[in-house]
Amino acid sequence: MQKISELLSPPAIILDLKANEKVEVIKELTSILIEQGYITNVDEFFSAILKRENIESTGIGLGVAIPHARTKAVKDIVLAFGRSRTGVNFSSLDGKPSHLVFLIAAPEEKKSEYIITLARLSKLLRNEEVRFRLTQAKTPDEVLKIITKHE
């Protein structure tokens, strides 16, 4: 089973998201994974992730959102990370904006790995030190070091 740090690469990390609205943030993060060749069908992936978002918000609180989807439009499990200085309304459980957004894209057939990845990421992000350090990180490599140290 791959670690969070193995599913996230420096090119898939945006330290200053341009978008400030949920759907636009998801598009911004998705575009990185498209550029890297992980997503084979943009419309299918985007439709799956918005459908998931409409079922229940992926804003888990504590300034964190984890939009995610499993679909045939993805080659392998992969993550993208974006940080928003102003925060984005993900309809979080605590009513606060999300500043740290991790997008999980997974192929349909990797259900157990997908669930484990979501659980591991949620656990990691419940750590206050991890959240604080991610808000302070200056480079994508620093983001990966923080995650590697705490996972």
Domain ranges of the chain: 4-150
Residue pLDDT, tens place only, 69-89 = 999 999 999 999 999 999 999
Report the candidate in 7, 28, 5 with the shortest Cα–Cα distance to residue 83: 28
Do the Cβ atoms of 39 and 73 come closer than 8 Å?
yes
Residue pLDDT, tens place only, 94-126 = 999 999 999 999 999 999 999 999 999 999 999
CATH number of 4-150: 3.40.930.10
β pairing state of 78-88 and 98-106: antiparallel
Question: How many percent of the chain have pLDDT more than 90?
Answer: 94
Residue pLDDT, tens place only, 27-83 = 999 999 999 999 999 999 999 999 999 888 899 999 999 999 999 999 999 999 999
